[in-house]
């Protein structure tokens, strides 16, 4: 019933419905074990949290943050909702152990939460487990007929993987501290526990070094975090049970370092901050001792600034061109028996690993760093896939999966959700080897994100990855995932995330008008092109100077409307659709068919609308085609072959990206045409 009700809202704003049955729990990530009980715990302004047993600062702070969130979520500003030491509180929290000075990989995050109509208890081995359990409690709180309430339930829960991360690249576009903070709130809400901060790359060096201030002075356009801000974010993350792993990419992806310190590079210089996207030639000179002396000083400084035990040195995508072109480097390689650039990079990594280790840290790097001469305590982050991860595990190395979790590629949530760190070759590892697979990280590379739209590129899809890394491997039902994802998406609004709220203002800017109904109807059914297609088909090469204010920047990575419409069409074709669902399909198609004429009226007033006219015309034509197909189906009449051939050609044309956008309702309309004509659409040309 719930599914159909949601589906029915795709296009009709005022469809009468009924919601009699109790709402299902919308927990994400799904806990290991949930037993529903009878009754519910009412949350009123006198709600209190009691800390039983040892009350340490982290525990108390967690309880206070929990109450802040609860107040926001319920709109109760109540001063009486507070943390007490008493065991008579409505929610009693008890942690067996206490917090480590610095949060560590692999700390116990399990918890058990028991809620009855009289009160609730939350038990955990550590304050981290308490934090995870408090998030579950918040997800349980609903508006009910008797007040805000959490249903009576018993939950035992623990994570599948100990490393559940999100990487944000703050180099290609600088992301201000407050934006990072709200996204850390989002991470904590879905129980992620590592923020991987990609702090330097060709396009910018983003941390203040007091030892080498020219790094940020010349390498950042003035856009960097002070050390005080770094400490502020680390404390903020710590309060939320999140470790911050810094990454300084080397020896490649390092142009921004060389603007101030050209002597570190392998080429002649001078260097400028890179404005373009891609893989570039500049690389550190691995043959000069001054390089290691500098890195020793720099890593030493950063090792103090970041208390975290793991330290990421990047190590990806060195194209070797500067090394090839440098006779002195070639001579060094020859003299040391280094046969390839890979060998040279391995030499560099070994040297850097010693420095990292000297400063008390464990090195992390991308796939390319893996060479058998490195010590076994390093961690490999794989953008190549599970097989690469399995190979590392077999050699005794620990690894993280990021292949399949690149959220900047605009994949639908189900595509990320289907990627499991333990699949492929990893599925066949021994138990010991499997334990070396620590988890994974969603990655947000920032070529096309700004403070305004980064949230909408991260959320809610990142929650699906969080579930993959927290919940049991067999939690994989896609419909359930999407249902819960939508609820979580709205819940994240309370944390100040802007993935929903920025949509309207961006569309108003594009329209140059407050009347955005036609533009919204359009943008609701398109998606940005996937993978690296945006770059590949760009009319003008994008750089870090390009505005991010087009329809492609406002459009959601995954169209909820198109997904729901496709579900409706599937139901209709399968004969599972009732008359309301059929009406809804017709209402959608009618609205889309007529939308172009509404949109056209706006086009004269905005330069940002011009590029979407062909796509809007396609939408109109596709919808008209769908309506005709529906007429044939309704009349029980077989559509003529010639008509179907014509529609397939039209649909094939409409499925080609235009304005770097994909029209997401075309495939469902194609199914309607197929059904009405009894013909299969021809395969698209390669």
Encoded tokens for 490: 């709205």
Question: Is residue 335 within the footprint of a second copy (CB under 8 A)?
Answer: no
150 vs 250, which CB is nearer to a second copy? 150
Candidate list 32, 84, 549, 679; residue touching a second copy; CB under 8 A: 549
Question: Is residue 452 within the footprint of a second copy (CB under 8 A)?
Answer: yes
22 vs 678, which CB is nearer to a second copy? 22
- Do 227 and 208 form a contact (C-beta atoms < 8 A)? yes
Question: Is residue 511 within the footprint of a second copy (CB under 8 A)?
Answer: yes
Q: What's the sign of the alpha-carbon dihedral 192, 194, 534, 536? A: negative
Candidate list 18, 106, 474, 579; residue touching a second copy; CB under 8 A: 18
Question: Is residue 646 within the footprint of a second copy (CB under 8 A)?
Answer: no
Q: With CB under 8 A as the contact rule, which of the stretches 108-116, 256-264, 403-411, 539-547 interacts with a second copy?
A: 539-547
Min separation Cβ 479 and a second copy, Å: 17
Min separation Cβ 509 and a second copy, Å: 6
345 vs 620, which CB is nearer to a second copy? 620
Exposure string (b/e) for 538-552, b if CB count within 10 Å is 16 or more? eeeebebebebebbb
The Cα 523–Cα 392 span in angstroms is 43
Query: What are the C-alpha distances in Å from 252 to residues 86, 282, 350, 578, 633?
Result: 56, 6, 15, 59, 59
Query: What are the C-alpha distances in Å from 111 to residues 53, 69, 125, 571?
Result: 16, 20, 7, 40
- Do 125 and 110 form a contact (C-beta atoms < 8 A)? yes
Candidate list 4, 34, 45, 583; residue touching a second copy; CB under 8 A: 45
Min separation Cβ 448 and a second copy, Å: 11
Query: What are the C-alpha distances in Å from 52 to residues 124, 368, 590?
Result: 12, 48, 60
Backbone angles phi, psi at 386, to 5 degrees: -65, -30
Candidate list 40, 48, 69, 74; residue touching a second copy; CB under 8 A: 74
275 vs 376, which CB is nearer to a second copy? 275
Interface pattern 116-155 for a second copy (x via CB under 8 A): --------------------------xxxxxx--------
- In Å, the largest CA–CA distance within the chain is 82
Question: Is residue 375 within the footprint of a second copy (CB under 8 A)?
Answer: no
Candidate list 214, 430, 501, 646; residue touching a second copy; CB under 8 A: 501
Question: Is residue 80 within the footprint of a second copy (CB under 8 A)?
Answer: yes
Candidate list 38, 79, 106, 574; residue touching a second copy; CB under 8 A: 79
Min separation Cβ 145 and a second copy, Å: 6
Strands (E), 179-223: 194-201, 204-205
Instruction: Considering the candidates 317, 535, 611, 653, report the single residue annotated as catalytic.
Output: 317
Encoded tokens for 292: 């290691």
Torsion angle, CA of 561/567/569/575, rounded to 10 degrees?
-150
Question: Is residue 14 within the footprint of a second copy (CB under 8 A)?
Answer: yes
Cβ neighbours of residue 312 closer than 8 Å, sequence gap 6 or more: 196, 245, 246, 247, 248, 363, 364, 365, 381
Question: Is residue 156 within the footprint of a second copy (CB under 8 A)?
Answer: no
Angle of helix 666-677 relative to helix 613-635, nearest 10 degrees? 30
| Cβ count near 412 (within 10 Å) | 20
Question: Is residue 4 within the footprint of a second copy (CB under 8 A)?
Answer: no
The size of the interface with a second copy (CB under 8 A), counted in residues, is 68
Candidate list 321, 371, 384, 509; residue touching a second copy; CB under 8 A: 509
| Cβ count near 478 (within 10 Å) | 14
Candidate list 488, 518, 551, 623; residue touching a second copy; CB under 8 A: 518
Candidate list 23, 210, 334, 635; residue touching a second copy; CB under 8 A: 23
* Of the candidates 656, 655, 659, 653, the residue with the CA atom closest to the CA atom of residue 612: 659
Min separation Cβ 523 and a second copy, Å: 14
Interface pattern 54-73 for a second copy (x via CB under 8 A): ------------------xx
DSSP, res 379 = E
DSSP, res 382 = E
> 380: which strand partners?
365, 399
- Is 433 annotated in the active site? no
Min separation Cβ 546 and a second copy, Å: 8
Question: Is residue 508 within the footprint of a second copy (CB under 8 A)?
Answer: yes
The Cα 335–Cα 104 span in angstroms is 42
> 442: which strand partners?
166
Candidate list 545, 574, 642, 683; residue touching a second copy; CB under 8 A: 545
Q: With CB under 8 A as the contact rule, which of the stretches 77-85, 370-378, 381-389, 657-665 interacts with a second copy?
A: 77-85
* Of the candidates 222, 185, 195, the residue with the CA atom closest to the CA atom of residue 206: 222
Task: Give the chain's end-to-end CA distance (angstroms, integer).
Answer: 41
Question: Is residue 471 within the footprint of a second copy (CB under 8 A)?
Answer: no
The Cα 76–Cα 43 span in angstroms is 10
Candidate list 116, 156, 450, 583; residue touching a second copy; CB under 8 A: 450
Interface pattern 592-611 for a second copy (x via CB under 8 A): --x--xx--xx-xxxxx-x-
Q: Dump the DSSP string for 345-362.
A: HHHHHHHHHHHHHHTT-E
Residues 171-210 that bind a second copy (CB under 8 A): 173
Q: With CB under 8 A as the contact rule, which of the stretches 114-122, 264-272, 416-424, 490-498 interacts with a second copy?
A: 490-498
Question: Is residue 487 within the footprint of a second copy (CB under 8 A)?
Answer: yes
Question: Is residue 37 within the footprint of a second copy (CB under 8 A)?
Answer: no
505 vs 684, which CB is nearer to a second copy? 505
The footprint of a second copy (CB under 8 A) covers: 9, 13-14, 16-20, 23, 45, 72-80, 142-147, 173, 221, 450-452, 486-487, 490, 493-494, 501, 504-506, 508-515, 517-518, 544-549, 553, 591, 594, 597-598, 601-602, 604-608, 610
Please identify every residue annotated as catalytic.
317
């Amino acid at each position: 019933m719930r599914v159909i009700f949601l589906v029915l809202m795709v296009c009709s704003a005022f469809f009468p419905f009924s919601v009699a049955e109790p709402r299902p729990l919308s927990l994400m990530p799904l806990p290991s074990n949930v037993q529903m009980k009878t009754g519910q715990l009412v949350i009123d302004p006198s709600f209190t949290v009691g800390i039983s047993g040892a009350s340490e600062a982290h525990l108390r702070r967690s309880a206070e943050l929990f109450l802040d969130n609860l107040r926001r979520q319920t709109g109760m500003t109540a001063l009486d909702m507070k943390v007490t030491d008493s065991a008579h509180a409505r929610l009693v929290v008890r942690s067996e152990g206490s917090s480590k000075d610095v949060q560590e990989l692999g700390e116990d995050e399990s918890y058990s939460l028991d809620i009855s109509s009289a009160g609730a208890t939350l038990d955990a081995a550590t304050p981290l487990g308490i934090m995870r359990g408090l998030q579950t409690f918040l997800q349980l709180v609903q508006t009910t007929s008797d007040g805000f309430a959490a249903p009576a339930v018993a939950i035992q829960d623990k994570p599948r993987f100990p490393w559940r991360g999100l990487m944000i690249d703050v180099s290609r576009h600088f992301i201000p501290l407050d934006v990072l903070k709200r996204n850390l709130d989002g991470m904590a809400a879905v129980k992620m526990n590592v923020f991987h901060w990609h702090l330097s790359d060709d396009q910018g060096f983003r941390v203040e070094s007091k030892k080498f201030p020219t790094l940020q002075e010349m390498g950042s356009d003035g856009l960097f975090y002070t050390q005080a801000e770094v400490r502020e974010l680390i404390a903020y993350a710590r309060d939320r049970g999140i470790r911050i792993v810094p990454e300084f990419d080397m020896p490649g992806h390092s142009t921004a370092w060389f603007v101030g310190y050209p002597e570190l590079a392998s080429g002649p210089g001078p260097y400028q901050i890179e404005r373009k996207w891609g893989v570039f030639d500049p690389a550190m000179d691995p043959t000069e001792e001054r390089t290691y002396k500098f890195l020793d000083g720099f890593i030493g400084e950063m090792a103090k600034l970041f208390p975290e035990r793991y330290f990421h040195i990047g190590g990806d995508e060195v194209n070797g061109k500067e090394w090839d072109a440098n006779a002195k480097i070639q001579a060094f390689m020859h003299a040391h028996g280094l046969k390839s650039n890979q060998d040279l990079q391995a030499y560099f990594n070994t040297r850097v690993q010693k420095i990292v280790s000297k400063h008390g840290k464990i090195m992390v790097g991308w796939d390319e760093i893996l060479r058998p001469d490195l010590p076994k305590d390093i961690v490999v982050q794989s953008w190549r896939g599970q097989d690469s991860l399995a190979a590392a595990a077999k050699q005794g190395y620990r690894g993280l999966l990021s292949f399949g979790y690149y959220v900047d590629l605009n994949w639908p949530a189900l595509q990320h959700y289907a990627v499991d760190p333990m699949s492929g070759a990893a599925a066949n590892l021994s138990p010991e080897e499997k334990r070396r697979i620590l988890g994974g990280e969603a990655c947000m590379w920032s070529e096309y994100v700004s403070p305004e739209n980064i949230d909408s590129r991260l959320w809610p899809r990142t929650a699906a990855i969080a579930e993959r890394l927290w919940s049991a491997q067999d939690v994989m039902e896609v419909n359930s995932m999407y249902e819960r994802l939508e609820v979580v998406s709205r819940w994240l609004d309370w944390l100040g995330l802007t993935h929903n709220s920025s949509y309207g203002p961006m569309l108003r800017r594009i329209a140059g008008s407050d009347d955005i109904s036609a533009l919204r109807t359009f943008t609701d059914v398109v998606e940005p092109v996937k993978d690296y297609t945006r770059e590949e088909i760009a009319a003008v090469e994008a750089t870090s100077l390009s505005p991010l204010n087009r329809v492609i920047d406002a459009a959601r990575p995954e169209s909820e409307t198109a997904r729901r419409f496709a579900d409706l069409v599937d139901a209709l074709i399968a004969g599972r659709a009732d008359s309301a669902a059929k009406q809804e399909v017709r209402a959608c198609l009618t609205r889309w068919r007529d939308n172009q004429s509404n949109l056209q009226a706006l086009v004269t007033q905005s330069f940002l609308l011009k590029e979407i006219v062909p796509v809007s015309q396609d939408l109109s034509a596709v919808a008209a085609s769908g309506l005709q197909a529906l007429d044939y189906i309704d009349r029980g009449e077989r559509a003529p072959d010639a008509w179907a051939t014509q529609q397939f050609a039209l649909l094939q044309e409409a499925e080609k990206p235009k304005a770097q956008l994909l029209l997401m309702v075309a495939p469902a309309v194609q199914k309607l045409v197929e059904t009405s004509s009894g013909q299969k659409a021809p395969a698209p040309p390669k």
